[in-house]
Chains A and B, each alone.
Chain A
């Protein structure tokens, strides 16, 4: 039996909705991972031990275990504790926190690497240490790790396929539903792959723009 891509267009609507959900979950999780990454970096570097230690445990949990398991835990596991999250929210939280931990590692290193003279200059003007961190040190640290954070965001986009297993009808699940109706796995997985690739190109274009914008500020 040969391939027949002519079945794909009749599922265009379903796939397009899948694309929109994939973009939605990626953007939400990316924002969470970005701001969460900054917050976690600050906790890891500056918080008192009773915040830092639980955080280390949490970071170890997110880096040392499969993302798939984390999604199951958040979506199915938390129900037992009376926390019944919608699948989309559970997916955003799982993906977002997972990548926040990775972003936080990058940002921590970058914060430590910011020239000590920057903190000194800010303190000399009368800024408090938190003010100097927020206004001077952290913006420069974040600027310095935009390219590797961008790589994490691309990885996040690809890993967003995992939330199909908790029933978010994003692109991968949409393709699977179409396959269930047509028994054409190659055609629909290939179509999904092309669509992921296009989203990926769009994301890279956005990231390059952001990088270019920060050129002057180095």
Chain B
């Protein structure tokens, strides 16, 4: 990787479901350590774009590159599986509905993938679980099952689970949208902590205050295109585009 190679590069991303074009020629680069927020109305393609980055929702056109390596390569099935599993180990993802494994306790949720994929011993795995859970303030709940946790606690465990694979990049898809308002802050604090540690993050969010305080850059998406992007001060205080102004006005009216 040369200095010019962007950390994450999205080139002409295009995605259609039948006749419905959900992503329309989106290009975007993210530098190492950068924190990018994606905002926009529901149905604008934010999740689709995020999920294209680890090829969970494969693009119908365009390329995704991580450190210059194409993620969405076209390969024979078995080679593709090997390639994509290796790429995904480097890309952590956090979902709106947590998707913790309910049949495993917190410790095993965190250690299953590293044990299976990195061949670490049980002892190393225990140490890893303790470290990662301590990091998100969930160490005391290490032997609990997900069904015994609040939404905020579940999401913190889900973040620890992703971090346990030591990803280079973290993707968050409305990580706090399913939470009761009083539980949002504990998750935001964990994400802020990651930001301070210079984790590269792409964050789809509805929380403008959070985006403004944590992110280096904000993208406003609407109807499958990036309408406008820039530093949070610019996008939130003084956007150029009418669609951005409109969205922010409606959004602020809605959330007050």
Binding site for B on A (CB under 8 A): 115, 117-118, 120-129, 131, 135-136, 139-140, 143, 214, 216-218
Q: List 22 A-B contacts (CB under 8 A).
A: A117-B95, A117-B99, A120-B56, A121-B95, A124-B54, A124-B56, A125-B88, A125-B89, A125-B113, A125-B165, A126-B89, A126-B117, A127-B85, A128-B81, A129-B81, A131-B116, A135-B116, A136-B101, A214-B103, A216-B145, A216-B147, A217-B103
B58-91 contacts to A (CB < 8 Å): 81, 85-86, 88-89, 91
Q: Given that A120-B56, A217-B145, A218-B147 are contacting pairs, would A126 and B113 also be in contact in the complex, using a CB cutoff of 8 Å?
A: yes
Q: Is the CB of A127 within 8 A of B113?
A: yes
Q: Does B46 contact A (CB under 8 A)?
A: no
Q: Is the CB of B165 within 8 A of A126?
A: yes
What residues on A are CB-neighbors of B93 within 8 Å? 121, 124
Interface flags, B107-122, vs A, CB<8A=1, else 0 = 0000011001100000
Main SS of the interface on chain A? helix
What distance in Å separates the Cβ of B158 from its nearest Cβ neighbour in chain A?
A: 8
What residues on A are CB-neighbors of B147 within 8 Å? 216-218
- Taken together as a complex, chains A and B put the C-alpha atoms of A136 and B112 apart, in Å, by 10
> Which residue of B is nearest A129, CB measured?
B81
A-B contact count (CB 8 A): 69
Q: Given that A124-B88, A125-B165, A126-B88 are contacting pairs, would A218 and B102 also be in contact in the complex, using a CB cutoff of 8 Å?
A: yes
B32-72 contacts to A (CB < 8 Å): 54, 56
Q: Is the CB of A120 within 8 A of B95?
A: yes
Q: Is the CB of A117 within 8 A of B97?
A: yes
What residues on A are CB-neighbors of B54 within 8 Å? 124
Q: Is the CB of B95 within 8 A of A135?
A: no
What distance in Å separates the Cβ of A210 from its nearest Cβ neighbour in chain B?
A: 14
> Which residue of A is nearest B51, CB measured?
A120
Q: Is the CB of A123 within 8 A of B148?
A: no
- Taken together as a complex, chains A and B put the C-alpha atoms of A130 and B116 apart, in Å, by 12
- Taken together as a complex, chains A and B put the C-alpha atoms of A118 and B95 apart, in Å, by 11
Main SS of the interface on chain B? mixed
Binding site for A on B (CB under 8 A): 54, 56, 81, 85-86, 88-89, 91-93, 95, 97, 99-104, 112-113, 116-117, 145, 147-148, 158, 161-162, 165
Q: Given that A117-B95, A120-B56, A218-B147 are contacting pairs, would A127 and B117 also be in contact in the complex, using a CB cutoff of 8 Å?
A: yes
Q: Which 8 A-B pairs have the closest CB atoms?
A: A126-B89, A121-B99, A125-B113, A117-B99, A217-B103, A124-B93, A216-B145, A126-B88
What residues on A are CB-neighbors of B165 within 8 Å? 125-126
What residues on B are CB-neighbors of A216 within 8 Å? 145, 147-148
What residues on A are CB-neighbors of B85 within 8 Å? 126-128
- Taken together as a complex, chains A and B put the C-alpha atoms of A214 and B104 apart, in Å, by 11
What residues on B are CB-neighbors of A121 within 8 Å? 93, 95, 99-101, 158
- Taken together as a complex, chains A and B put the C-alpha atoms of A71 and B4 apart, in Å, by 72
- Taken together as a complex, chains A and B put the C-alpha atoms of A120 and B94 apart, in Å, by 11
- Taken together as a complex, chains A and B put the C-alpha atoms of A95 and B47 apart, in Å, by 49
- Taken together as a complex, chains A and B put the C-alpha atoms of A217 and B101 apart, in Å, by 9
What residues on A are CB-neighbors of B56 within 8 Å? 120, 123-124
> Which residue of A is nearest B101, CB measured?
A136
New A-B pairs, 15, CB < 8 Å, besides A124-B88, A127-B113 = A117-B99, A118-B99, A118-B101, A125-B113, A125-B161, A125-B165, A126-B86, A126-B88, A126-B89, A127-B117, A129-B81, A135-B112, A136-B101, A139-B103, A217-B103
- Taken together as a complex, chains A and B put the C-alpha atoms of A135 and B116 apart, in Å, by 10
Which among A125, A216, A217 has the greatest number of chain B C-beta atoms within 10 A? Answer: A125
What residues on B are CB-neighbors of A122 within 8 Å? 101, 113
Q: Given that A128-B81, A135-B112, A218-B147 are contacting pairs, would A120 and B99 also be in contact in the complex, using a CB cutoff of 8 Å?
A: yes
> Which residue of B is nearest A119, CB measured?
B99
What residues on A are CB-neighbors of B92 within 8 Å? 124
What residues on B are CB-neighbors of A135 within 8 Å? 112, 116
> Which residue of B is nearest A139, CB measured?
B103
- Taken together as a complex, chains A and B put the C-alpha atoms of A131 and B56 apart, in Å, by 16
- Taken together as a complex, chains A and B put the C-alpha atoms of A136 and B99 apart, in Å, by 11
